[in-house]
Amino acid sequence: MNWFVRKGIFFRPASLMGWLIFAAGAAYIAWAFYDIDSRSHSASDTLINWFFNILLTGLLYSVIGYFTEKRS
């Protein structure tokens, strides 16, 4: 499986499946912001709770990228 290519510490999508995973992660992050913002009382409350979702999504994306990267 060559879904991703490593560029430094980041994983760049290299196939259709990689781009679908990237798009799903970005869509989830956008939806999470909207959902958290609709229930928050302040900007700092929104950003603190949203940051945790970004970390978890980034961790999952990195794990998937690590196991499906193109190795040279």
Instruction: Check pLDDT > 80 for residue 43.
Output: yes
**In contact, 3 and 68? CB cutoff 8 Å:** yes
Q: How confident is the model at residue 30 (pLDDT cuts 50, 70, 90)?
A: very high
What integer is the mean pLDDT of 52-58?
95
Region 12-33: mean pLDDT is 95
The answer as to whether 72 is a domain residue is: no
**3: helix, strand or coil:** coil
User: Is 16 within a domain?
Assistant: yes
Side-chain half-sphere exposure of 66, counting CA atoms within 13 A: 7
Distance CA 65, CA 44 (A): 31
What mean pLDDT value characterizes the chain?
92
Determine the structural domain holding residue 54 and report its residue range.
4-67
- Answer yes or no: are the C-beta atoms of 24 and 41 closer than 8 Å: no
Is residue 42 assigned to a domain? yes
Q: What is the number of other CB atoms lying within 10 angstroms of the CB of residue 55?
A: 10
User: Based on the structure, what is the number of domains in the chain?
Assistant: 1
